[in-house]
């Protein structure tokens, strides 16, 4: 059920680790309107967005937008009334153990072929000392995310170690900052559309670049693609590669499968099969994997 109330174990996890994944937090249907507005921003990026990774030596009208940055609510204040917004404020208040208010939203959009990582940083390094121990962020992707397409990474427990020194990358002219935390405690958080992560203002976090160019080329040349129902499995049939997508939890997947099949049908895509792991015994799974053409 979307829009859950934070329970005691989630509150305790957040206090100890400084981050939390909330699965099925928001109803994907409630995100459609937001997605349309974000598409408008991407389309009119020269006027409605900044380039957060604006390279030094590049003129304003030549910006690449490797990390497009904007604020949908600045253009459409009615988003303040959206269910996902009021829910995230209530859930965030429970995690912090004090009432928090919505401050700002931030759209970060990365192009699939040539983007930049959002380097390790702590939000308090941007926010300043007025928000010492007072702020947290709810991060809400508008598509499934994994390590290949920009999912969130955290330094586990890093919120208890103060604000690290932050620097500006030498080749960037926007206000991008980075720090260099101990990556041995890094956790990555692949999540599906509708799930969100929360992080404390002092938790170091990063998202990798989305550089699907190389993966796309490898998949295009492969005889077949076998993978989970993640972003690459949806893409592979459209690259002309027969695909077997395995899954073990069909919650939220039905509409994806319907939309994918519809899209494949309209562009003569390659074969697309799905395999529900829960419906198979182990021996059948081995046999099935061997049988796939
Ligand atoms: O989405 C990203 O690339 C990074 C987001 C981020 O740094 C944040 O939400 O605090």
- For residue 288, is pLDDT > 70? no
β-strand partners of 224: 242
Residues 126 and 169 in one domain: yes
Query: Domain tally for the chain?
Result: 2
Q: Does the beta carbon of 139 lie inside 6 Å of ligand 1? A: yes
- For residue 251, is pLDDT > 90? no
Burial class (CB in 10 A: 0-12, 13-18, 19+), 157: middle
Residues 284 and 251 in one domain: yes
Residues 249 and 116 in one domain: no
What confidence tens digit (pLDDT) does each residue in 183-226 have?
Answer: 999 999 999 999 999 999 999 999 999 877 778 888 999 999 99
User: Among the three residues 178, 207, 236, which one is the final residue of a domain in this structure?
Assistant: 207
Domain that holds residue 145: 8-207
Which atom from ligand 1 is nearest to the alpha carbon of 117? 3
Alpha carbon 17 to chain centroid, angstroms: 19
Q: Does the beta carbon of 108 lie inside 6 Å of ligand 1? A: yes
What confidence tens digit (pLDDT) does each residue in 21-59 have?
Answer: 999 999 999 999 999 999 999 999 999 999 999 999 999
Question: Is residue 192 within 8 Å of residue 254, measured between CB atoms?
Answer: no
- For residue 166, is pLDDT > 60? yes
With CA atoms as reference, report the closest residue to 201 among 61, 103, 86, 68.
Answer: 103
With CA atoms as reference, report the closest residue to 72 among 172, 118, 140.
Answer: 140
Question: Is residue 289 within 8 Å of residue 273, measured between CB atoms?
Answer: no
Residues 222 and 110 in one domain: no
Answer yes or no: is 186 within a domain: yes
Q: How high is the pLDDT of residue 284?
A: 67
Q: Does the beta carbon of 124 lie inside 6 Å of ligand 1? A: no
Sign of the torsion angle spanned by Cα atoms 188, 227, 246, 195: positive
Q: Which residue has the higher pLDDT, 232 or 51?
A: 51
Q: How high is the pLDDT of residue 290?
A: 59
Instruction: Calculate mean pLDDT across residues 65-89.
Output: 97
Question: Is residue 119 within 8 Å of residue 206, measured between CB atoms?
Answer: yes
Residues 79 and 154 in one domain: yes
Pocket probe for ligand 1: among 142, 152, 206, the residue whose CB has the most ligand atoms within 8 Å is 152
- For residue 289, is pLDDT > 70? no
Residues 84 and 167 in one domain: yes
pLDDT class of 248 with cuts at 50, 70, 90: confident
Residues 176 and 250 in one domain: no
User: Among the three residues 156, 173, 207, which one is the final residue of a domain in this structure?
Assistant: 207
β-sheet with 68-70: strand ranges across: 50-51, 68-70, 107-109
List the structure tokens of 254: 């039905």
Which atom from ligand 1 is nearest to the alpha carbon of 199? 10
Q: How high is the pLDDT of residue 155?
A: 98
Instruction: Calculate mean pLDDT across residues 121-146.
Output: 94
Question: Is residue 244 within 8 Å of residue 226, measured between CB atoms?
Answer: yes
Q: Does the beta carbon of 225 lie inside 6 Å of ligand 1? A: no
pLDDT class of 250 with cuts at 50, 70, 90: low
What confidence tens digit (pLDDT) does each residue in 103-132 have?
Answer: 999 999 999 878 999 999 999 999 998 899
Percent of the chain scored above 90 by pLDDT?
Answer: 72
Task: Please tell me the distance between residue 204's alpha carbon and the centre of ligand 1 in angstroms.
Answer: 10
Answer yes or no: is 2 within a domain: no
Instruction: Calculate mean pLDDT across residues 8-16.
Output: 98
Q: Does the beta carbon of 118 lie inside 6 Å of ligand 1? A: yes
Which atom from ligand 1 is nearest to the alpha carbon of 123? 10
């Amino acid at each position: 059920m979307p829009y859950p109330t934070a329970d005691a174990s989630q509150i305790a996890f957040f206090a100890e680790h400084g981050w939390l994944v909330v699965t099925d937090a928001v109803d994907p249907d409630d995100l459609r309107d937001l997605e349309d507005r974000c598409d408008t921003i991407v389309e009119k990026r020269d006027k409605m967005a900044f380039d957060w990774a604006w390279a030094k030596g590049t003129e304003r009208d030549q910006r690449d937008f490797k990390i497009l940055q904007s604020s949908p609510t600045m253009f459409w204040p009615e988003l303040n009334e959206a269910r996902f917004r009021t829910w995230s404020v209530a859930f965030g208040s429970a995690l912090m153990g004090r009432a928090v208010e919505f401050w700002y939203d931030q759209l970060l959009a990365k192009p699939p072929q040539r983007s930049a990582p959002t380097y390790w940083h702590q939000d308090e390094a941007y926010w300043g000392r007025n928000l010492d121990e007072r702020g947290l962020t709810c991060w809400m992707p508008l598509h499934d995310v994994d390590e290949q397409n920009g999912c969130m990474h955290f330094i586990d427990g890093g919120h208890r170690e103060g604000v690290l020194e932050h620097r500006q990358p030498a080749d960037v002219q926007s206000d991008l900052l980075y720090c260099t935390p101990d990556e041995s405690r890094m956790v990555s958080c692949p999540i599906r559309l509708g799930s969100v992560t929360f992080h404390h203002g002092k938790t170091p976090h990063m998202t990798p670049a989305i550089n699907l160019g190389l993966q796309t080329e490898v998949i295009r040349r492969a005889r077949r693609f076998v993978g989970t129902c993640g972003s690459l499995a949806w893409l592979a049939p459209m690259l002309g590669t027969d695909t077997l997508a395995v899954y073990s939890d069909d919650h939220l997947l039905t509409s994806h499968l319907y939309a994918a099949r519809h899209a494949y049908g309209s562009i003569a895509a390659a074969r697309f099969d799905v395999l529900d792991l829960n419906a198979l015994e182990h021996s059948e799974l081995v046999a099935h994997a061997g049988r796939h053409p």
